[in-house]
Structures are given as structure tokens and as C-alpha cells.
């Protein structure tokens, strides 16, 4: 079954300028999909449609087999979590524990069960030592990890990351990216990551390139990124390892397009 299926989806904020045009896309259960594209390509609008913060102008959204409607919205949301871009503006509680508790409170989880659930989720994102910390004393990366913990407490099937690392410093980025990978591999949670960080996109199984509200390409990251015509037309940056692989190929070396520096060097000298 597909985790998310978008069927001929269209959307416009003002009724004149379409943001999404007749977009169809399926995201398999348990997969890690990255959506890339320029600002204004419709990436973030897509995220808001999937969790029902916006309603499509035309077309259908199916989440875990259910077509999204006003009636089942809150039910569907129990299975889908989203981490937004700005770490500050989604931190609702006064402390880490309170923030993780927020979703549990909304879902009427009995008070006596909460403490254990909070501690377990905080442990999964490495924030156990900070349960009483206030948001002012946390870094951006830590706040985003708390946001993830708040979602994990709800045991979701799908987590959407809406440019969740774009305001973080490299250290924060790396820690959140590692977290995303772990969620997908160890907990088998379906990941939909909207990003313009190509290094992050290259760790996904499937990359979707959006351009002006339409799907320009779908495929494995190495295949999509090696499509030179597409990448230069949309002026998208390549991840570093692929850039290096291309330079090596140009110099006459026999390497295949790989997504990490280590793998690239390995290709050069398998014997060593």
C-alpha cells in the first residue's frame, strides 16, 4: 500500500496563479522520499495539503489508503507528523517535556501514561538530559529534535519534514539528518522530506524534482542528479560527491556516480 498517493492535484492561493498543476505522485510505505526544487516550486504547499492545513482546488489526496476529507482529517493526522522550518515557532511547551506532551494532551492520552512516553521519545532523539530545559537554552538543532520527539510520542506512520534543517547550523543539520535516516531505517517510518539541501536529498531512496508546480523527475537520487540537462535547466546544485565523481569521469577515471566521498575513493582503489 502507498503511504501517500496524490492524484491529479491542483492548487492555487489566489485562484489565478496555480501553485500545483495536475500533480500525481505516489510515496510507498516505509520509503524515504526527498522533494527538491526552487523556492516557489510548490514544495511547501504540497506539505500543507497532505496534512490538511490547505484544501486542494482539484484532485485527491490519499493518506494510508484514506481519501482526505473534513470528516477523517483528525483521524488521518494521528498517523502523520510534520516538522516545520522554524525551530522556534513550533515549540509550544515551556519546557522540552511539556512540548513533547502537547500532542499527547491533544489526543487525550491518560496523564499517568505520559511520563513514560515522553521519556521514551526524548531518548530516541537523544534529548533525555534536557527534559526540563527551556527553549531559550536550546540550539536550533536541539529544538528540531524535540519537535521530532513530540511526533514520535504519537507513534506516527509518516513524518513530513518541511525544510526542517534550512535554518540550522551545519552541526544541527547533521544531527537532524542523522535522526531522519535512523527513523526511516530503524523504525520503518515513511519519510517525506522537502528540502533544498542536496546532501540530505542524496540520502533518500527516491528523489522528486518539482518545477513550477509539476513533477519534473522522479527516481533514485544518483539517476535524477546525473540527468545533466534537467539539473542545469532547473539550476539545481549537485551533491558534492556527485560533482567529484563527474570531475573524475571527465579526467578519464572509471568511476560510477556515487553519493558519498568514501564510496567514491573506494571505487578508485578497490584493491587498496
Query: Contacting another protein (CB under 8 A), which of 13, 155, 170, 233?
Result: 170
The reply to whether 104 sits near another protein by the rule CB under 8 A is: yes
Minimum gap (Å) between residue 104 Cβ and another protein? 7
Footprint on residues 73-102 left by another protein (CB under 8 A): 74, 77-78, 81-82, 84-86, 88-95, 97-98, 101-102
Quick one: 8 or 94, whose CB is closer to another protein?
94
The C-alpha atoms of residue 39 and residue 236 are separated, in whole angstroms, by 11
15-23, 162-170, 177-185, 222-230 -> range binding another protein (CB under 8 A): 162-170
Binding residue (CB under 8 A) for another protein from 131, 133, 167, 230: 167
Q: Which of residues 28-67 bind another protein (CB under 8 A)?
A: 38-40, 48, 51, 53
- CB of residue 142 to another protein, shortest distance in Å: 11
Size of the site for another protein (CB under 8 A): 73
Which of 138, 196, 200, 210 forms a contact with another protein (CB under 8 A)? 196
Interaction between residue 138 and another protein (CB under 8 A): no
**Binding residues for another protein restricted to 205-234, rule: CB under 8 A:** none
CA distance 121 to 145: 10
Q: Could you say which of 49, 148, 210, 264 contacts another protein (CB under 8 A)?
A: 264
Q: How far is the CB of 246 from another protein (least distance, A)?
A: 8
Compute the distance between CA of residue 175 and CA of residue 161 in angstroms, rounded to an integer. 14
Residues 6 or more apart in contact with residue 128 via CB below 8 angstroms: 119, 122
Residue 178 found at the interface with another protein (CB under 8 A) = no
Q: Is 186 in the site for another protein (CB under 8 A)?
A: no
Q: How far is 209 from 217, CA to CA, in rounded Å?
A: 5
By the rule CB under 8 A, 270 interacts with another protein: no
Amino acid at each position: 500500500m502507498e503511504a501517500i498517493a496524490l492524484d491529479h492535484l491542483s492548487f492555487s492561493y489566489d485562484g489565478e496563479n496555480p501553485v500545483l498543476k495536475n500533480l500525481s505522485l505516489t510515496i510507498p510505505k516505509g520509503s524515504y522520499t526527498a522533494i527538491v526544487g526552487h523556492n516557489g516550486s510548490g514544495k511547501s504547499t504540497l506539505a500543507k495539503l497532505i496534512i490538511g492545513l490547505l484544501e486542494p482546488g482539484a484532485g485527491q489526496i490519499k493518506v494510508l489508503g484514506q481519501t482526505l476529507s473534513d470528516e477523517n482529517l483528525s483521524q488521518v493526522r494521528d498517523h502523520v507528523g510534520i516538522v516545520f522550518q522554524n525551530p522556534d515557532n513550533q515549540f509550544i511547551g515551556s519546557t522540552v517535556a511539556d512540548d513533547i506532551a502537547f500532542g499527547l494532551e491533544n489526543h487525550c492520552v491518560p496523564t499517568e501514561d505520559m511520563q513514560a512516553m515522553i521519556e521514551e521519545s526524548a531518548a530516541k532523539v537523544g534529548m533525555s538530559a534536557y527534559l526540563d530545559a527551556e527553549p531559550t537554552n536550546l540550539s536550533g538543532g536541539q529544538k528540531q529534535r524535540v519537535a521530532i520527539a513530540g511526533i514520535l510520542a504519537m507513534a506516527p506512520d509518516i513524518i513530513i519534514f518541511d525544510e526542517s534543517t534550512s535554518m540550522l547550523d551545519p552541526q544541527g543539520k547533521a544531527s537532524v539528518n542523522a535522526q531522519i535516516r535512523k527513523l526511516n531505517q530503524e523504525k520503518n517510518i515513511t519519510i517525506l522530506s522537502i528540502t533544498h539541501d542536496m546532501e540530505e536529498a542524496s540520502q533518500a531512496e527516491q528523489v522528486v524534482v518539482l518545477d513550477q508546480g509539476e513533477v519534473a523527475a522522479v527516481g533514485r537520487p544518483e539517476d535524477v542528479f546525473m540527468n545533466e540537462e534537467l539539473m542545469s535547466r532547473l539550476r539545481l546544485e549537485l551533491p558534492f560527491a556527485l560533482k567529484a565523481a563527474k570531475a573524475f569521469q571527465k579526467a578519464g577515471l572509471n568511476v560510477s556516480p556515487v553519493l558519498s566521498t568514501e564510496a567514491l575513493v573506494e571505487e578508485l582503489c578497490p584493491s587498496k
